[in-house]
Amino acid sequence: MLRSRGVNLQEGPRTNYKERLQDIMLRRSSRRRLVDKVVSISAIFSVILAVILLGSILIEVVINGARALSINFLTQPPGAIGSGLGGIGPAIEGTLIVVGLASAIGAPVGVLAGIYLSEFAGNGIFPSSVRFFSDVLVGLPSIVIGIVAYISLVLTLGSFSVWAGALALSIIMIPIVVRVTEETLKVVPNSMKEAGHSLGIPKRTIILHIVLKSAKSGVITGIILAISRIAGETAPLIMTILGTDLFFTSLTGPVDALPLRIWRLVSQPYQYAHDFGWGAALILILMVLGMSLGLRLLAHRRGFKIGTIAA
Amino acid sequence: MTTNGENSREDEIKADKDIDRQTESEQVQEKQQQVHKVSIRNLEAWFGSKQALKNINLDVEQKTATSVIGPSGCGKTTLIKCLNRMHEMTPGAKAKGQVIIDGMDIYARNIDPVIIKRRIGMVFQKPNPFPTMSIYDNVVAGLKLNGIRDKRLMDEIVKDSLEGAALWDEVKNELGKPGMGLSGGQQQRLCIARALAMQPEVLLMDEPTSALDPVASSKIEDLVHDLKKRYTVIIVTHNMQQAARVSDHTAFMYLGELIEYSPTKKMFENPEKELTERYISGKFG
């Protein structure tokens, strides 16, 4: 019960609250230790579960996929269905082209928009709605983006094309990069910008050489995350690049991609096709891994990380 | 910039003349040695609708150290941030009045605030070296990022600036190491070197020792003694002993107003105003 008018001390002998307090705290502390233990154990258990799940998928892919690997598998176009010949050459090439193009569009647009939101925009209606719609776009099913690209590009231009695929994937990529860039730049301490201003350095130079440089590893992580995500996208590609058995011919024609090829291979009733599917999955994972490592190395080659900023 | 409509035209002409005089020659500069280095006229500053500085008038002599003291929130930091146009960088903040440095009103309309900051050094409360840069790069950051590429020139400036900031002997063999690897006191001296590298004539220090331990603080204080031989130093401090130790003149501020401004010795021994006396003797603040 809350008393509104000050402390109400009753007449008579005072209670021995010191002992009571210690008693309560002792009981609380044994309860706290128990909660502590339960939470720690469930955290460890969750980590083990996650590692087992991911690890088993990875091991499964490596074991099954390694069987399919050969020079022919990596370089040849698919053979006739049921023949057990050919490879996934066009799919590897197509994924490199489509994902490369999408990243070349999506990464700079995303980073620049992130810089705008964090350094220039403030909290007005326009930047707030950009933030809101970016978040919505991140959660949008990728098939919807595929349909948009199909209607606006494929139907109007009259053919499935590399461009349509790259644009669809870059639309998936941009909001991820925007939000990660904005959040990372916001973490750069204001005192860095202040120091830059006090030296009479123009704002654009401060952002480029001080803020962005401090936030580099965070921004790169965002780009890697986005590229990894689009590299595995299948749905928007069905509606845009279609998939083909031939090598790349032009940016305005259809092309193959690994996720599409995997899907085609595993829907065939032949064991060799399933093995090829595993092989293609392994190659896709290795490509994403290689891209991620390469970008990180590139980022760490020079300078220090943001982690070195003292609290 | 001035609010007074009838004066504004005159002031503009004056400011223009001042710039001309600036660019003229050394003979004029000699004359200016007797003139005040920094003159503040009718300076007012706001954060949104809250007035932070009320009609400040203050003259600072060349190659002296001036400290600004006063209780928290009295406007000391705002005052020195107005001296290099840093104040208006805060969203919603604005300033009015004149700040004449070397005969040039830095609030004149044709003045680029970015250029002003290059000529006036500033050191902040917390040491803030650039975390991505080495010690060397930290010192020349202002030069490099303003387009200077001459390696020989930068080498010379790095040595002079680090010597000027009493840091050279401690770091001369590890100039390539990250600036964040230094101790707090060294970081603050690195920030001073970074400001000196821009060849300023006025150096503003905003409570430069408040984040440092006593030993590191006293090193900075010793440094201020050296710095004022070559630069005009204005130092904000909440530490009255520090003000008494390092400065020639002291300004006491209270609630956005300049209460008293006199030679430090006089201020601490025989202040004119009762308010000053009460603050200095620790009766409030």
B92 in contact with A at a CB cutoff of 8 Å?
Answer: no
**Distant-in-sequence, close-in-space partners of A197: CB < 8 Å, separation ≥ 6:** A203, A206, B86, B89, B117
Work out the minimum CA distance from A118 to partner chain B, whole angstroms. Answer: 14
Residues of chain B in contact with residue A306, where contact means CB-CB under 8 angstroms, are 131-132
Task: For residue B82, give the chain A residue with the closest CA.
Answer: A198
pLDDT-based confidence at residue A29 (cuts at 50, 70, 90): confident
pLDDT-based confidence at residue A308 (cuts at 50, 70, 90): very low
**Topology (CATH level 3) of domain A71-300:** MetI-like fold (1.10.3720)
Render pLDDT for A43-97 as a digit per residue (tens, 0 to 9). 999 999 999 999 999 999 999 999 999 999 999 999 888 888 899 999 999 999 9
pLDDT-based confidence at residue A31 (cuts at 50, 70, 90): confident
Work out the minimum CA distance from A58 to partner chain B, whole angstroms. Answer: 36
Interchain CB distance below 8 Å, B178 and A206: no
Render pLDDT for B47-66 as a digit per residue (tens, 0 to 9). 999 999 999 999 999 999 99
Residues of chain B in contact with residue A217, where contact means CB-CB under 8 angstroms, are none
Which H or E element spans position A128?
Answer: helix A125-139
In chain A the first and final C-alpha atoms are separated, in Å, by 43
Render pLDDT for B114-132 as a digit per residue (tens, 0 to 9). 989 999 999 999 999 999 8
Work out the minimum CA distance from B148 to partner chain A, whole angstroms. Answer: 12
pLDDT, position A102: 97
Taking the C-alpha atoms of residue B237 and residue B250, their distance in angstroms, rounded to an integer, is: 10
Residues of chain B in contact with residue A301, where contact means CB-CB under 8 angstroms, are none
Work out the minimum CA distance from B132 to partner chain A, whole angstroms. Answer: 5
Taking the C-alpha atoms of residue B35 and residue B103, their distance in angstroms, rounded to an integer, is: 9
Work out the minimum CA distance from B85 to partner chain A, whole angstroms. Answer: 9
pLDDT-based confidence at residue A4 (cuts at 50, 70, 90): low
Residue with tokens 């933030």: A131
pLDDT, position A233: 94
State the number of CA atoms in the 13 A half-sphere of B87 facing the CB.
28
pLDDT-based confidence at residue B23 (cuts at 50, 70, 90): low
Indicate whether B37 pLDDT > 70.
yes
CB pairs under 8 A between A and B: 83
Q: Residue B141 is nearest to which of A194, A199, A309, comparing CB atoms?
A: A199
Task: Give me the phi and psi of B257, to 5 degrees please.
Answer: -115, 150
Indicate whether A303 pLDDT > 70.
no
Interchain CB distance below 8 Å, B126 and A306: no
Task: For residue A120, give the chain B residue with the closest CA.
Answer: B91
ipTM value: 0.82
Task: For residue B133, give the chain A residue with the closest CA.
Answer: A303
B131 in contact with A at a CB cutoff of 8 Å?
Answer: yes
Of B248, B232, B224, the C-alpha closest to B32 is B232
Chain B contact probe: residue of A188, A198, A213 with most B CBs at under 10 A = A198
Q: Residue A199 is nearest to which of B118, B131, B133, comparing CB atoms?
A: B118
Render pLDDT for A218-247 as a digit per residue (tens, 0 to 9). 999 999 999 999 999 999 999 999 999 999
For chain A, the structural domain boundaries read 71-300
| Contact indicator for B146, A200 with CB cutoff of 8 Å | yes
Q: Residue A191 is nearest to which of B91, B124, B145, comparing CB atoms?
A: B124
CB interface of B with A, residues 151-210, below 8 Å:
178, 180, 191, 194-195, 198
**Distant-in-sequence, close-in-space partners of A199: CB < 8 Å, separation ≥ 6:** B117, B118, B141, B142, B145, B146, B194, B195, B198
Residue A127, classed as helix, strand or coil, is helix
DSSP assignment of A144-190 equals HHHHHHIIIIIIHHTS--HHHHHHHHHHHHHHHHHHHHHHHHHHS-H
Q: Residue B84 is nearest to which of A198, A210, A306, comparing CB atoms?
A: A198
User: Domains (ranges, CATH) in chain B?
Assistant: 5-280 (3.40.50.300)
Work out the minimum CA distance from B267 to partner chain A, whole angstroms. Answer: 31
